[in-house]
Amino acid sequence: MAAQIWYENDGDLSVLEGKKVAIIGYGSQGHAHALNLRDSGVDVVVGLRPTSKSVEFAKEQGLEVKSVPEAAAEADIIMILAPDQYQAKIFKNDIEPNWKPGTALAFAHGFNIHYGYIKPSEDHPIFMVAPKGPGHIVRREYAAGRGVPVVVAVEQDPRGDAWQITLAYAKALGALRAGAIKTTFKEETETDLFGEQNVLMGGINHLCDMGFDVLTEAGYQPEIAYFEVFHELKMLVDLANEGGLNKARWSCSDTAQYGDYTCTVINEETKKRMEYQLKRIQDGSFAKEFMDDQAAGAPKFKALQEKFSHPHLETVGPKLRAMFSWNNQGVKDADEAQSFNGQIARTQVQ
């Protein structure tokens, strides 16, 4: 069955007229949601702790900023954009004691609703608008008159208007310019975690670093190894993004294609491991492990961050990336974004 996709004419911004939207958190997604909605004519307030460094970031952009309890108390729609591990505490301490009856609660990821860390009463609409791109791109594309696609879902619809609110919010974000795909909190959460763990992060990152190790341990120059197992990856991903896997294959030599078909290290054993990881996502084991570690002060997470923060291929990475002039502006933008996001990640609602 084909997915249901909504576009620009399917959303009605008048649904948000007279409504106050509270954006909780001013991180990567938070700043994009707040600014895009504001520029679409929506009444927006950003909820942060008064001591948060993000307060000044938001005020400099002309946004109204209040404490999380104050923002929640006056909002008709509350979008929680703090990191997953902090959302339940924010909801329990700052939102639930203060929000009005029937206030809609929104998310950009289904984690806390799907796994039951947040359980709003049944009189509140619960919906999701999840951009398929980082916040700085969501903001950039909106400003350019375009949009980043989103997936949307409704978990609770006590009044029968949750889908109208969801599509109006997606339109204000600029997402309906590109399209909004209907999903569920369960589907979005489980597929998102699976993709991160098995392909996008846990797959590519380790595959590249391991390939670098195999070549350098065999005596090849690190610079050459870096080019072959990491640098050219972007070119293939760009081609695949433009025209699918076949365009990426057809753009390479016959030799490369033949090796792709016959010599891959990704096999049925890899698939079995992926299936095991999917089961841990589906039964909540991964979520519990992550949340329990976070609740204990994140000792395992911090140890793993340190362990994997110095991949071997980065011994030559900075030097080689500097060779490509077309990367220089991207490196500058990335450094600025990392600095900005690093500050607000540490101070999202603190």
Enumerate the active-site residues.
109
SS3 (DSSP) at 193:
helix
Query: 23, 37 in Cβ contact below 8 A?
Result: yes
How long a stretch of residues is the chain? 350
- Answer yes or no: is 40 a known binding residue: no
> What are the contacts of 221-224 at 24+ separation with CB within 8 A?
222/313, 222/315, 222/316, 223/316, 223/319, 223/320
DSSP state of 268: H
How many C-alpha atoms does 204 have within 13 Å on its Cβ side?
12
Residue 232 annotated as part of some ligand binding site: yes
Consult the annotation and say whether 26 binds a ligand: yes
H/E element, 303: helix 299-308
192 is in an annotated binding site: yes
Q: Say if residues 350 and 51 touch (Cβ distance below 8 Å).
A: yes
- Is 177 part of any known ligand binding site? no
| Largest Cα span, the chain | 67
Cβ atoms of 15 and 35 closer than 8 Å: no
Cβ(293)–Cβ(301) below 8 Å:
yes
Q: Is 285 annotated as a binding residue?
A: no
Question: Distance between CA atoms of 257 and 207, rounded to whole angstroms?
Answer: 19
Residue by residue, DSSP assigns 168-192 as HHHHHHTGGGT-EEE--HHHHHHHH
Is 251 annotated among the ligand-binding residues?
A: no
End-to-end CA distance of the chain: 44
Q: Which residues pair with 133 in a beta bridge?
A: none
The annotation status of 238 as a binding-site residue, yes or no, is no
Instruction: Tell me: is residue 14 an annotated ligand-binding position.
Output: no
Does the annotation place 54 within a ligand binding site?
yes
Q: With beta carbons less than 8 A apart as the criterion, state whether 19 and 306 touch.
A: no
Q: Over the range 119-154, which residues count as b (16 or more CB within 10 Å of their CB) and which as e?
A: ebeeebbbbbbbbebebbebbebbeeeebbbbbbbb
Does the annotation place 253 within a ligand binding site?
yes
Q: Annotated binding site, which residues?
A: 26-29, 49, 52, 54, 135, 192, 196, 228, 232, 253
Q: Annotated binding site for Mg(2+), which residues?
A: 192, 196, 228, 232
Q: Annotated binding site for substrate, which residues?
A: 253
Q: Annotated binding site for NADP(+), which residues?
A: 26-29, 49, 52, 54, 135
